Amino acid sequence: MPTDSQTDRPAPRPVTNHSAPVRVAIAGVGNCASSLVQGLEYYRTASAETIPGLMHAEIGGWRVRDINIVAAFDIDARKVGQPLEKAIFAPPNCTKVFQAALPISDVIVRMGPVLDGVADHMQDYDETEAFRVAAAEPENIAAVLRDAKADVLLCYLPVGSEKAVKHYAQACLDTGVAMVNCVPVFLASDPTWAMKFRRAGVAIVGDDIKSQVGATIVHRSLARLFNDRGVSVDRTYQLNTGGNTDFLNMMQSSRLRSKKKSKTQSVQSQLDNELEAGNIHIGPSDYVPWQKDNKVAFIRMEGRGFGDAPMDLELRLSVEDSPNSAGVVIDALRCAALAKAREIGGPIDAPSSYFMKSPRRQLRDSEAREALDAFIGAQNVDRAIAQPVSIGGVVSSSPSCALILAAGMGSRLFPNASLPKPLAPVHGLTMAEWVVRTLKEAVGINHFVVSVGHEADTVESHFRSVCRRNAVNLNCVHAANWESGNGASALAGRKYLDSDAPFLLTMCDHLYEHALPARLAETPLDAGAMLVAVDFAKDNLFDVADVMKVKRDGASITAISKTLTDWDGGDTGVMYCTAGLFDALEDAEAEDQHGLADAVRVLAEKDRARAVDVSGVWWLDVDTPAALRVAETRLSGDIRWTG
């Protein structure tokens, strides 16, 4: 039976129609919850396919009228114990009232755990502006979720509520309730928590909700526009003011830290080259009580165009903060429910990338929208990367993309020089160009993702020249923690690889005949699995002490390590992968293991790592001067490259 790449569960069947509503629990009955609850009634009778204020009239068969609130939690004395339809209008809520008439519900706001959910300085402000903690014992969150038969928990807790948010997240894991995390407490984007959700088979959409047209989405779009039009971005800031409890809460600098990080990395992700910390400033700036729920953003961008001519842009954006996010949340809830119905666990990348500031995978917004539409089945989406079809659990498309790991220092190859290894010449071409040419000619790869680290700018510049000469597409990613292991370099490449399409992975310092990747790519690849090209002709292996050794049982890999004493063959450094590799890399990283072999071991434990026999095909790990001499001799012999 087919399996899904994000979990151990069976692969999802398309889900298009539902008779049951989406049952939602809300943690935090503040301004955002008020706008959402009002909006559910405001749009309940909407039937048109295009409705002002909504991005999708229908997702997975659910319309807005199919979302029901079944539980709610808060800690404020004016809300706890009150019906939800009354609590959303209680102080200190101050958002716009656009739907005053609400149906009577049987949802009573329950007392949640306070933990770190209330900033100390709230007591210094008037009760009309700040929280006042109820004198009540917190409820058992997991028990309430079970009793309410909730499908999705919506987290609206204040920024900086690290312990409180994780308390609710654990309740979701314990009950199988999907989660939409609207705040910058990093769960979906944190490898440890992502692994917890995957292992529990629980879907999460996160982290930190984007507004429909808010400061961050506008800033992201402008950053991308500058770079797309060939204009450099030298400096930028985004200053925000507002008068709701969100801005009051962030007056405490320690609580503001995660918000600034989330907004900053969201904008940085859209730039071709990230700005140095001193040239970018993004974040809430001040609390202005009379603004209430009105948020005003001031954006400035400084750059250079043709001939280094200076270009400055200044923009002022004024929005009602809470309604601006509610239309996004309505979609996020239905996507989380859709993932739950399809039995997909862990971070749900496509909706997270489009709806959230800090998803696990940052994409350009146009690409994220295409990925979202593909996820919900709203339309057929053409992709630059071919989409695989799963037939009987086997990925049927051939790879059109390859990930090249080119971050290492090459200290063994050049012990007395600093030349980056990808630039090392071998019989007239650099190793970088040998690998690109081989994969293009042997398998038809037309899109390369290169993970760089040591002398990253030099290596990236060289790969750009190589790819231009060979008429292929290139994305380079700078692996921030490449020195911790080649697994970290591989994981960084996820940013530019489609979550569904298979891809080849290769070390930049491994040379091989065309037949090696061709044999690998023609082998059926199970969804969520990976194939490793293994040479079982042990007597022909070069520098056996340094070979990554593989033990197998039939085609299944059972062990992989350089230190194995009982082994069957050598890993050639070329692999055929699905997104299951990245999930395994994150699982290994959570255990402080950062090697690519560590991820292979994770997949091997699930019988998702298979060996493909490439014995008899020439290959070489060019890692030492002696290996370089062997490569020169072999290539100068005018070997026949067979596809």
Both tokens assigned to 130: 């700040």
Instruction: State whether 315 and 403 are in the same domain.
Output: no
Contact by Cβ (8 Å): 476, 457? no
Three-class HEC string of 312-374: EEEEEEEEEHHHHHHHHHHHHHHHHHHHHHCCCCEECHHHHHHHECCCCCCCCHHHHHHHHHH
pLDDT tens-place string over residues 577-605:
999 999 999 999 999 999 999 999 999 99
Is residue 317 domain-shared with residue 404, that is, in the same domain?
no
Whether 68 has a pLDDT exceeding 80, the answer reads yes
Q: Is the peptide bond before 207 cis (omega within 30 degrees of 0)?
A: yes
Q: Is the pLDDT of residue 118 over 60?
A: yes
Locate 200 and state its tokens: 């529990």
Domain assignment present for residue 246? The answer is: yes
Q: How far apart are CA 174 and CA 191, in angstroms?
A: 19
Cα torsion through 251, 253, 257, 262, rounded to 10: 20
pLDDT at res. 421 = 83
Average pLDDT over residues 272-284: 92
Distance of CA 266 to the CA centre of its chain: 12
Q: H-helix or E-strand containing 425? A: strand 425-426
Structural domain includes residue 448: yes
Residues 6+ apart with CB under 8 A from 588: 487, 594, 595, 598, 599, 601, 602
Residue 298 shares a structural domain with residue 407 = no
Encode pLDDT of 425-459 as tens digits: 888 888 999 999 999 999 989 899 999 998 888 88
**pLDDT band at 643, cuts 50/70/90?**
very low
- Which CATH number is 480's domain given? 3.90.550.10
Q: Round to whole Å and give the CA distance between 602 and 609.
A: 9
Does 295 share its domain with 403?
A: no
Report the phi/psi class of residue 122: left, alpha or beta, with left for phi > 0 and alpha for psi in -120 to 50.
Answer: alpha
Q: What is the pLDDT of residue 125?
A: 96
Residue 379 has pLDDT above 70, yes or no: no
Tokens 């008020």 correspond to: 34
**Considering the domain boundaries, does residue 625 fall inside one?**
yes
Q: What is the mean pLDDT of residues 353-375?
A: 86
Q: Supply 198's token pair.
A: 């995957």
Residue that is last in its domain, among 322, 343, 371 = 322
Average pLDDT over residues 387-396: 46
Domain assignment present for residue 566? The answer is yes
| Whether residues 405 and 530 fall in one domain | yes
* The residue type at 322: S
Whether the predicted pLDDT of 16 surpasses 50: no
592 shares a domain with 494? yes
Q: Which domain-ending residue is among 322, 347, 376?
A: 322
Q: What is the DSSP letter of 547?
A: S
| 492, 451 Cβ separation under 8 angstroms | yes
Give the separation between CA 158 and CA 178, rounded to whole angstroms.
20
In a domain, 384, yes or no: no
* pLDDT at residue 414, rounded to an integer: 52
Stretch 625-629: mean pLDDT, rounded?
88
275 contacts: CB under 8 Å, gap ≥ 6:
233, 234, 235, 236, 268
Q: In this structure, are 548 and 463 located in the same domain?
A: yes
Q: Give the model confidence (pLDDT) of 309-340 as tens digits.
A: 999 999 999 999 999 999 999 999 999 999 99
Is there a contact between 430 and 393 (Cβ–Cβ < 8 Å)?
no
Mean pLDDT (whole number) for 379-400? 45
Q: Does residue 424 sit in the same domain as residue 571?
A: yes
Top pLDDT among 109 and 392 is at 109
Q: Which residues pair with 213 in a beta bridge?
A: none
Our count of domains for the chain comes to 2
Quick check: is 73 in a domain?
A: no
Task: Report residue 361 as tokens.
Answer: 């995978």
Q: Is 60 exceeded by the pLDDT of residue 77?
A: yes
pLDDT value of position 609: 96
Question: Which of 3, 4, 6, 1 lies closest to 582, judged by CA?
Answer: 6
Q: How far from the centroid of its chain's Cα atoms is residue 117's Cα?
A: 26
Q: State residue 641's pLDDT score.
A: 39
Question: What's the pLDDT score for residue 640?
Answer: 39
Same domain, 414 and 536: yes
Residues 249 and 32: their CA atoms lie apart, in Å, by 14
Residues 528 and 624 in one domain: yes
Percent of the chain with pLDDT over 90: 71
pLDDT beyond 90 at 131: yes
Residue 163 confidence class, pLDDT cut points 50, 70, 90: very high
CA–CA distances in Å: residue 492 to residues 186, 217, 388, 404, 433: 18, 23, 22, 11, 22
Whether 303 and 405 share a structural domain: no
| 310, 423: one domain | no
What was the pLDDT predicted at 419? 66
Boundaries of domain holding 281: 215-322
| Residue reference for tokens 């292996």 | 541
Assess contact for 296 and 251: CB atoms under 8 A.
no
Last residue of a domain, one of 267, 290, 322: 322
Residue 160 within a domain = no
- Residue 393 banded pLDDT, cuts 50, 70, 90: low
Residue 2 has a pLDDT of 33
Q: Which residues contact 276 (CB under 8 A, 6 or more apart)?
A: none
Domain contains 68? no
Query: What's 259's domain CATH number?
Result: 3.30.360.10
Task: Provide the b/e sequence for 558-577 (b: ≥16 CB within 10 Å).
Answer: bbbbeeeeebbbbbbbbbbb
